């Protein structure tokens, strides 16, 4: 039996038409397409859903047994939305014994999930949907304006431009135009780094988790807030160390002193953060997570290696005394051993069942 799959990765169907995925069956899919088209006539996902129904009808004319479905993700495209699509696909595959699939897409974004589908089912083809439009009514100006109505596109294009203008305006109003340019460069650079490595997804997930912890009275929120405070104290301590060293030391040594004074606070913050997460898991499931031990060993190992490397850097610059070289190397070796030990401990724990002998076991 063949399965025609249309993927709505950013969940326009749920946000605009209040339809939760997966949607399975020709009649249900047609109803979903009409409700989405009524809610937003300009949404290209409507055409993709109709194209999926059209393709399933074509395949039926050849005598094949075909089913059509729509899978939905989440508004913020990323790991969360892809995980929801995968869960819905597994749910659909559990309904009937499908042998192959056809993927219908309205753009490259949905086609990123081709490996997700092909890992579970043989894919016979990918069908891209193009929307034809008369050239005499198509205007670049209106096309850009309509595109900017998309919240995702605005967040990626308009937001950094607005930040640049805001910083330049504040700098010019305060008579510090040069500092405005410097601040603009730093903020824009940080934004591009966050955007490139999807740090914004991690930040939003952390904020959502913190909001849930507050509403549930979770103890992890207090640990997390305290650990963030320790990281801030580390930056202040490092800055004070930098100011103390700046008048008498080279810029290189001043930067090293910044990291040396702040590193201990940062390590303490990381340890406290992991302890809060572990305690929350313990209170929720009455079982202490084994990953906590791996995290502790890894944090201590990375901290020890960092201390040793920073001291060695000071020694090479002629600041540290030669007699301390053995201790510096000891820090590096001990940290390296702890990092390797953490990796080995992770492999050992991963091979064990998370339940004690005789407990329940699940697959999938």
* pTM listed for this prediction: 0.46
Residues 123, 100 contacting (CB under 8 angstroms): yes
| Residue written as token pair 């949905």 | 110
Q: pLDDT tens across 119-144, in order?
A: 888 888 888 776 655 444 445 545 56
Q: Where are the domains of the chain?
A: 2-132, 177-350
Q: Give the pLDDT of residue 356.
A: 42
Please choose, from the candidates 67, 37, 1, 29, the residue with its C-alpha nearest in 3D space to the C-alpha of residue 12: 37
Written as one string, the DSSP assignment of 86-154 is HHHHHHHHTTS---EEEEEESSHHHHTTHHHHHTTSEEEEEEE------GGG--HHHHHHHHTTSHHHH
Spatial distance between the Cα atoms of 115 and 145, rounded to a whole number of angstroms: 33
Gap between the terminal Cα atoms of the chain: 23
Give the residues of the chain that fall short of pLDDT 50.
134-138, 141, 353-364
Classified as helix, coil or strand, 247 is coil
Report residue 206: phi and psi, to 5°: -65, -40
Q: Give the pLDDT of residue 309.
A: 85
Q: Give the pLDDT of residue 241.
A: 83
- Token pair of 215 as six digits: 């509403």
> What's the sign of the alpha-carbon dihedral 215, 216, 220, 223?
positive
Q: Give the pLDDT of residue 218.
A: 66
Please choose, from the candidates 107, 97, 32, 40, the residue with its C-alpha nearest in 3D space to the C-alpha of residue 69: 32
| Residue written as token pair 């205007």 | 139
Q: Give the pLDDT of residue 138.
A: 44
């Amino acid at each position: 039996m063949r399965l025609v799959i249309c993927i709505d990765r950013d969940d326009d169907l749920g946000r605009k038409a209040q339809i939760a995925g997966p949607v399975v069956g020709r009649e249900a899919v047609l109803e979903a397409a009409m409700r989405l088209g009524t809610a937003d006539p300009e949404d290209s996902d409507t055409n993709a859903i109709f194209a999926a129904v059209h393709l399933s009808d074509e395949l039926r004319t050849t005598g094949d047994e075909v089913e059509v479905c729509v899978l939905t993700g989440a508004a913020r495209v990323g790991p969360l939305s892809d995980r929801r699509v995968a869960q819905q696909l597994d749910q659909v595959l559990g309904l009937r014994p499908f042998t192959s699939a056809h993927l219908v897409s309205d753009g490259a974004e949905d086609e990123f999930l081709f490996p997700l589908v092909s890992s579970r089912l043989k894919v016979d083809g990918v069908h891209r949907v193009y929307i034809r439009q008369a050239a005499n009514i198509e205007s670049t100006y209106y096309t850009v304006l309509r595109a900017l109505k998309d919240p995702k596109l605005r967040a990626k294009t308009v937001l950094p431009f607005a930040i640049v203008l805001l910083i330049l305006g504040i700098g010019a109003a305060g008579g510090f135009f040069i500092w405005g340019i410097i601040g603009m460069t730093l903020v824009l650079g940080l934004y591009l780094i966050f955007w490139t490595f999807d740090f914004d997804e991690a930040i939003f997930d952390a904020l959502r988790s913190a909001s849930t912890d507050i509403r549930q009275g979770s103890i992890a929120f207090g640990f997390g807030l305290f650990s963030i405070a320790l990281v801030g104290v580390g930056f202040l301590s490092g800055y004070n160390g930098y100011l103390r060293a700046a008048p008498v030391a080279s810029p290189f040594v001043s930067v090293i002193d910044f990291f040396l004074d702040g590193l201990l606070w940062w390590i303490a913050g990381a340890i406290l953060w992991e302890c809060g997460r572990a305690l929350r898991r313990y209170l929720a499931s009455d079982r202490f997570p084994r990953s906590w031990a791996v995290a502790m060993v890894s944090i201590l190992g990375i901290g020890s290696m960092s201390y040793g490397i920073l001291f060695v850097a000071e020694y090479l610059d002629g600041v540290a005394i030669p007699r301390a070289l053995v201790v510096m190397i000891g820090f590096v070796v001990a940290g390296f051993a702890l990092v390797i030990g953490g990796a080995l401990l992770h492999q050992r724990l991963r091979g064990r069942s998370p339940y004690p002998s005789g407990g329940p076991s699940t697959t999938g």
